[in-house]
Chains A and B, each alone.
Chain A
Amino acid sequence: MDSLTQRFQQANPAVLWLLSGIVFILAPHVYYQSHLLVLFIGCLLFWRLGVELQYIRQPPAWFATLLAISTFIGITYGYQTVFGRDAGVALLITMLCLKLMEMGAPRDFLVAVFLGYFVVITGFLFSQSVIIGLLMTTAVFLLTTSLVSYHRSERKLNSQYKSARLGINLLFQAIPLAILLFFLFPRVPGPLWGLPEQGSSASTGLSSSMAPGQITELAFDNSVAFRVEFENKIPEASQLYWRGPVFTYYDGFMWQELASNSRKFFGSEWVTELPPVPQVKMSEGIKYSVMLEPHNANWLLALDLPTLYPATGYLTQNYELLSDEPVKKLTRYEVTSHLNYKLSPEAPPANRVYRQIPQFVGPKARQLVLELQTKIQADQPYDRQIVDLILNHFRTEPFFYTRTPPAMLDNPIDQFLFEERRGFCEHYASAFVVLMRAAGLPARIVTGYLGGELNTIGNYFIVRQSDAHAWAEVWLENQGWIRVDPTAVIPPGRIEQAQFRDRFRRSAGEGVGSQLWFADSIKRLKFIWDNVNHSWNDWIVGYNPTKQQSFLDALGIKDFSWSSLIFILFGGLALLVLVIAWHLSGHTIRKPNQAHVIFRRFCRKLARKGFRYSPSETAHNFAQRVAEKRSDIAKQVEEIAELYNQVRYARAPAQQSLRVLEQRVRQFRP
């Protein structure tokens, strides 16, 4: 029985390269595809390896066909379709692995490699992260090396480093060309045809409804929601309220958005209005760009209050910035916000939904409002006083902030305000808005994100799902809609989880002060890694027609036409190809053979003594001719001729003999 090493040496190295490449191609699909399929494919790969190492025989053709048909049926049954992303990719992957089973003809191998290249691209339909990018680059390297290895006549395992070296060379020489094509190839906006519906992966963070009493544990999701780069100055942390969905309608248990199409449910009273034009105190607008991770809903996050926003978005009457299409992939947009603003201060909003509370909700809460109203002083504005009184109630009474509140299912508002008094931002915002409405003030709930972490390496903000927040907006006379954050009044001592104690107070960027050098280094590394991701998203994943336009503008190519762009593109490509060609052809220049140079030196020495070397002679003939006349140097001459023949006609360079030859010729004195 052969040892494993021997079996590897007898295997076709090109197939081994291909198999390792396929492992890398399939790595991300292990995460996205069903486990049954992954198991099946793993078995196929091991089987193929077994065949290559001659443990098992290649299966007969009918068996491979049978396997192909049964997997096709299996996938169709399992996914209920053969169209769509998941089923299509599953089909492609199994086709690739089954192709490996019937690799007899040269064509089969090449088809398998090309199919492999094609499957690489399907991985990007699931994720375009840096990690996937690295995995797929490795896969491309391995597949290219397998092609190189396949076309060599040498099949020995220990000479495969040459194939790998050439694979690397090909890839590195191709990278400048690929970068040029990537940035200058004219980008076409929009899909060419309708995209198939993708499976809705549940998004975390914000949602389109809110039921505070029903949640007993807030999951801590540290994934990135979006990243923000401010153009000039960074606003203060206390102003970083990122506005998301706004809830206006409360059914007693759940807050909901009042979308324009919900008119029929609530009658014509709650008509949709156009957003009122805000009065902006003419402070400078803050310009920033947001790189939003996909969340499958329509809202685009923006600082209060967005005044300039992309054409693909629009403002609702509640100042939610919505996009026309659900955000299904990484989206980049630029917004200008004014942090000092006044919203319709002249007249209270006509829409009755801002004052609506179901009759059964919060009898005790209404009682509380009545009690507080007795403390109102007549000479001060009523609405301002009632807001302060209620906030003061939260501050002085024993209210606690916790991420694991008890369930409050019967009458959430009263249970929270008078029994449990423990909750997170949604509880506070919800209770506050109900109290406001009970006091007769128009109020609504705003959800979104608060703050963010300044990445000091890349100088941008990272906002995470764990930064999700809910606050309230109240309409006050002469002031319009103002923001009130009832959670922020809870003193630090009453925040239960220590890690959130400083959440509402820390100024962004300072972060949690840590004494430990170790923790600082970890944080720095995290910032660097996030910065890599951000640049990747900004320049690679988020590179779209808009970004290309601004990139070309920055390069000074203003008002470019397609023809000039193509001209620049091909000019650049031709230049790069010339540089590579020049580099490569340098290695083919014919150098004079060194042995020959040395031998000519030897001939010149003899020519001085009257022995002329004729080109038709062999070195041996010449040496014999000399030796017949000069027996004193016969030995040396014959040795030199022998050495010359050895070196000159060796299949591989014979450096050792060359040195000896040079030495003998140098010492030769005829």
Chain B
Amino acid sequence: MLSKLTFPLEQLNLDRFFTGEGPFDSPLILARRRIFILPTRQGVLFAIVLGIMLIGSINYNNSLGYLLTFLLASVAVVSILHTYRNLLSLKISVGNIQPVFCGEKIKIPVVIDNSGLSERFAIQAELSGEQIRSCDVAQDGWASISLSYKTRTRGMHRIPRITISSVFPLGLFRAWSHVRLNNTYLVYPEPAGKTRLPFQWNEEQQQLRGYHKGTDDFAGLNTYIPGDPLGHIHWKAYAREQGLFTKKFGGNNEQELWLDWRVLDGLSTEQKLGQLAKWVLEADKTEMNYGLWLPGNRIAPSLGPMHKLKCLKALALFREAM
């Protein structure tokens, strides 16, 4: 009989308490077993005040003193339920995260969706250790909290643990839930380095020239396709309401720029990637077609925001072959 009553120790998962389960695919619903609740420091102070009041009531045998002490204790107990309920059944998801350069702050939009019948007040969201933001969520409504987080390394990362918590209504108890989601974000290498753009081309690059149209001579108009460089749009025609066209360039003096890993000898891998990232940004401004050469990855010369992002992503995800 007793053996049946013993607590199944293997089910006691302390990680669930300290770090949270998961990661899960977004959205995650805050179910009962995911929410924890403990008294806050104010709650402990309140308990001490109640203790003094109880001793005073016993000593003076003061009936209304007893009644008040018990009423306040009951309010505290009921507030546990309210605090817990404030988080219960909320649906947590993370919206689209814009990539940033390493060292910048990434913004993680946390969407809190409440499809229950009661309004939720002062729901707090925090990234482990970073700043806390709070918001109210109307009944059958949603709210979003943007959490920012300073990035430290390039690459594709899973978002850090988000803690959804609330001390509402009385601040005596704090209910929380560690939410670990599968969402990822991209961090580009930090643009750095002093080497100028490599306008001098080596032999191989010379050979590569020729098939690609340059940006020097105007060679007619094309219908705009999303992704075309903004600088090439024929704005005058657009202003005359003739439609959106992209200017086409070509000719003998076309230039191509190769951002080449190999020219950056003597630098560490991360320094090289930083320099290349800086070059990508600079080359994007020159309105020259540029290509990227990385060990095991070659991106053909092109231009435009899509191309820029493609190059930066390649830099972010770069891994040296063993």
A650 and B171 CA atoms in complex are apart in Å by 30
User: Within residues 65 to 103 of chain B, which ones have a CB less than 8 A from any CB in chain A?
Assistant: 65-75, 77-79, 81-82, 85, 88-89, 91
Q: A148-B169, A170-B78 are in contact. Are A154 and B115 (CB under 8 A)?
A: no
B60→A125 contact, CB < 8 A: yes
Q: Which of A125, A170, A182, A587 contacts B75 (CB 8 A)?
A: A170
A178→B116 contact, CB < 8 A: no
A597 CB, min distance to chain B CBs, angstroms: 12
A171→B75 contact, CB < 8 A: yes
A125 and B135 CA atoms in complex are apart in Å by 43
Q: Which of A140, A544, A585, A652 contacts B141 (CB 8 A)?
A: A652
Q: Which of A114, A577, A588 contacts B45 (CB 8 A)?
A: A114
- For B79, the closest partner residue in chain A by CB is A170
B308 CB, min distance to chain A CBs, angstroms: 27
A585→B136 contact, CB < 8 A: no
B59→A192 contact, CB < 8 A: yes
B122→A114 contact, CB < 8 A: no
A148 and B82 CA atoms in complex are apart in Å by 11
B63→A541 contact, CB < 8 A: yes
- For A537, the closest partner residue in chain B by CB is B63
A182 and B118 CA atoms in complex are apart in Å by 32
A117, CB-defined interface residue at 8 Å: yes
A152, CB-defined interface residue at 8 Å: yes
User: Within residues 130 to 145 of chain A, which ones have a CB less than 8 A from any CB in chain B?
Assistant: 132-133, 136, 140, 144
B135→A153 contact, CB < 8 A: yes
Residues of B within 8 A of A152 (CB): 121-122, 136, 168
Q: Which of A140, A148, A573, A650 contacts B68 (CB 8 A)?
A: A140
- For A172, the closest partner residue in chain B by CB is B78
A668, CB-defined interface residue at 8 Å: no
A181 and B56 CA atoms in complex are apart in Å by 16
B255 CB, min distance to chain A CBs, angstroms: 40
Residues of A within 8 A of B82 (CB): 166, 170, 584
Residues of A within 8 A of B57 (CB): 121
Residues of B within 8 A of A166 (CB): 82, 169
B139→A653 contact, CB < 8 A: yes
Q: A174-B71, A175-B74, A650-B141 are in contact. Are A193 and B59 (CB under 8 A)?
A: yes
A105, CB-defined interface residue at 8 Å: no
A311, CB-defined interface residue at 8 Å: no
B286, CB-defined interface residue at 8 Å: no
A95 and B23 CA atoms in complex are apart in Å by 51
B77→A118 contact, CB < 8 A: no
A541 and B68 CA atoms in complex are apart in Å by 12
A-contact bits for B29-66, CB 8 A (1 contact / 0 none): 10000000000001001100100110111111111111
Most chain-B Cβ atoms within 10 A of its Cβ — which of A147, A193, A581?
A: A147
Q: Which of A114, A140, A173, A588 contacts B116 (CB 8 A)?
A: A588
Most chain-A Cβ atoms within 10 A of its Cβ — which of B63, B81, B91?
A: B63
User: Within residues 581 to 597 of chain A, which ones have a CB less than 8 A from any CB in chain B?
Assistant: 581, 584-591, 593
B306, CB-defined interface residue at 8 Å: no
B230, CB-defined interface residue at 8 Å: no
A63 CB, min distance to chain B CBs, angstroms: 27
Q: A147-B171, A151-B168, A651-B143 are in contact. Are A589 and B65 (CB under 8 A)?
A: no
B116→A587 contact, CB < 8 A: yes
Q: A136-B68, A144-B170, A188-B58 are in contact. Are A121 and B141 (CB under 8 A)?
A: no
B138, CB-defined interface residue at 8 Å: yes
A518 CB, min distance to chain B CBs, angstroms: 35
A191, CB-defined interface residue at 8 Å: yes
Q: A118-B49, A177-B74, A192-B59 are in contact. Are A589 and B116 (CB under 8 A)?
A: yes
B77→A590 contact, CB < 8 A: no
A32, CB-defined interface residue at 8 Å: no
A-contact bits for B104-145, CB 8 A (1 contact / 0 none): 000000000001111101100000000000111011111100
A6 CB, min distance to chain B CBs, angstroms: 23
B92 CB, min distance to chain A CBs, angstroms: 13
A653 and B77 CA atoms in complex are apart in Å by 32
Q: A114-B45, A178-B71, A588-B89 are in contact. Are A577 and B121 (CB under 8 A)?
A: no
B167, CB-defined interface residue at 8 Å: yes
A56, CB-defined interface residue at 8 Å: no
- For B75, the closest partner residue in chain A by CB is A174
A150 and B42 CA atoms in complex are apart in Å by 13
B59→A114 contact, CB < 8 A: no
B49 CB, min distance to chain A CBs, angstroms: 5
Residues of B within 8 A of A73 (CB): none
Count: A-B pairs, CB below 8 Å: 177
A541 and B136 CA atoms in complex are apart in Å by 43
A162 and B134 CA atoms in complex are apart in Å by 18
Residues of A within 8 A of B121 (CB): 151-154, 162
B75→A577 contact, CB < 8 A: no
A124 and B55 CA atoms in complex are apart in Å by 14
- For A650, the closest partner residue in chain B by CB is B141
Residues of B within 8 A of A178 (CB): 67, 70-71, 73-74
A81 and B6 CA atoms in complex are apart in Å by 59
A148 and B46 CA atoms in complex are apart in Å by 15
B141→A192 contact, CB < 8 A: no
B119→A162 contact, CB < 8 A: yes
Residues of A within 8 A of B168 (CB): 148, 151-152
Residues of A within 8 A of B119 (CB): 162
Residues of A within 8 A of B136 (CB): 152-154
- For B89, the closest partner residue in chain A by CB is A588
Residues of A within 8 A of B134 (CB): 153
A117 and B70 CA atoms in complex are apart in Å by 12
A120, CB-defined interface residue at 8 Å: yes
Residues of A within 8 A of B68 (CB): 120-121, 124, 136, 140
A259, CB-defined interface residue at 8 Å: no
A144 and B169 CA atoms in complex are apart in Å by 9
B66→A185 contact, CB < 8 A: yes
A650 and B79 CA atoms in complex are apart in Å by 30
A171 and B74 CA atoms in complex are apart in Å by 8
- For A591, the closest partner residue in chain B by CB is B115
Q: Which of A133, A150, A544 contacts B61 (CB 8 A)?
A: A544
A118→B118 contact, CB < 8 A: no
Q: Which of A114, A177, A191 contacts B78 (CB 8 A)?
A: A177
B116→A191 contact, CB < 8 A: no
B116→A195 contact, CB < 8 A: no
User: Within residues 92 to 137 of chain A, which ones have a CB less than 8 A from any CB in chain B?
Assistant: 107, 110-111, 114, 117-118, 120-121, 124-125, 128, 132-133, 136
Most chain-B Cβ atoms within 10 A of its Cβ — which of A181, A591, A653?
A: A181
Residues of A within 8 A of B58 (CB): 188, 191-192
B74→A121 contact, CB < 8 A: no
A30, CB-defined interface residue at 8 Å: no
A541→B116 contact, CB < 8 A: no
B49→A114 contact, CB < 8 A: yes
B90 CB, min distance to chain A CBs, angstroms: 8
B54 CB, min distance to chain A CBs, angstroms: 9
B116→A110 contact, CB < 8 A: no
B116→A542 contact, CB < 8 A: no
A190 and B117 CA atoms in complex are apart in Å by 50
Given A140-B68, A577-B77, output 20 extra A-B contacts at Cβ < 8 Å: A121-B65, A124-B64, A140-B72, A140-B75, A144-B75, A144-B170, A147-B170, A166-B169, A173-B78, A174-B75, A177-B74, A181-B70, A190-B61, A540-B63, A586-B117, A590-B116, A650-B141, A652-B138, A653-B138, A653-B140
20 contacts between A and B (CB under 8 A): A110-B42, A110-B171, A111-B45, A118-B49, A140-B75, A150-B171, A151-B121, A151-B122, A151-B167, A173-B78, A174-B75, A178-B71, A190-B61, A195-B59, A587-B85, A588-B116, A590-B29, A591-B117, A591-B140, A653-B140
| A residues adjacent to B (C-beta < 8 A) | 107, 110-111, 114, 117-118, 120-121, 124-125, 128, 132-133, 136, 140, 144, 147-148, 150-154, 162, 166, 170-171, 173-175, 177-178, 181-182, 185, 188-193, 195, 329, 540-544, 573, 577, 580-581, 584-591, 593, 650-653
Closest 9 CB pairs of A and B: A174-B74, A177-B74, A181-B70, A588-B116, A587-B118, A178-B71, A124-B64, A588-B89, A174-B75
